Amino acid sequence: MHHTGSTAIIANGQIDDLQALLPSIQRHERIVAIDGGLVYCQQGNLIPHFIIGDFDSCPSELLDKYNAIPKKTLPKDKDQTDLEVAIEEEWKRGVSSITLYAAWGKRVDHSLTNALFLSRYPFKLKIETESEILFAIQGRVELPCQVGQTISLIPLYGPAKGITTSGLKWELKKVMLDQNFIGISNESLKSTVTIDIEKGTLLWCQNRCDVCKRVSSL
């Protein structure tokens, strides 16, 4: 049976304030724990629907406590990260969207790799931390914001061309963002920001606030 709702994947990265993220995690219909992410599940009294990983960072005694939960053990030597495999497993289930938690921090290489994953599934795959929501955008999008909210448009995936914005303090008109010109720390002036990208993909970084609940449901 295919599950068509949203999935929260809890990885083994950094979470400093789990309580701040619990309401967001609990909004999802399905929770997946990756390896050491099971520690966060225990701390937040979350019961995952699925556990996956090579289990090099999860205490064996903790795994035993969740022995009734379906698990998939991955080999330690592989070309993909545990998180990458977990994302693919969820898409196979037919989920509509995935949000990654504890997918940032601890290791820079993992953090940047996870940000690159976002470009494979624009809008549908997000990273959420206590302070920000990140996802890839393409084409023309209208996104809910709060006036005064900090927005950054990062050309992480290579040059993005023909970018025009509406609703930001510093508007862009048919410009290119690349390693020489980065749209960092802009500010929303309206409750909706429109971004039009003629070619390429941008990383949308939005600081968290109550209105982010609407963004999470896109």
Q: Which domains does the chain show, CATH number per domain?
A: 6-130 (3.40.50.10240), 137-216 (2.60.120.320)
Residue 123: phi and psi, rounded to 5, are 70, -35
User: What number is the average pLDDT over the span 5-26?
Assistant: 94
Of the candidates 184, 187, 204, 208, the one whose C-alpha atom is nearest the C-alpha of residue 195 is 204
Length of the chain as a residue count? 218
pLDDT (mean) for 6-30: 94
* pLDDT tier, 1 (very low <50, low <70, confident <90, very high otherwise): very low
The yes-or-no verdict on residue 210 having pLDDT over 70 is no
Mean pLDDT over 88-108 rounds to 93
- Mean pLDDT, range 144-172, rounded to an integer: 95
Answer yes or no: is pLDDT of 215 > 80. Answer: no
Q: Check residue 209 and give its pLDDT.
A: 65
The mean pLDDT of 187-192, rounded to a whole number, is 94
Residues 109/116, Cβ–Cβ less than 8 Å = no
pLDDT for 212 beyond 60: no
pLDDT of 168 > 70? The answer is: yes
With 90 as the cut, is the pLDDT of residue 195 above it? yes
- Report residue 213's pLDDT band, with 50, 70 and 90 as the boundaries: very low
pLDDT at residue 4 is higher than 90: no
Q: Considering the chain, what is the average pLDDT of its residues? A: 91
- pLDDT (average), residues 101-118: 93
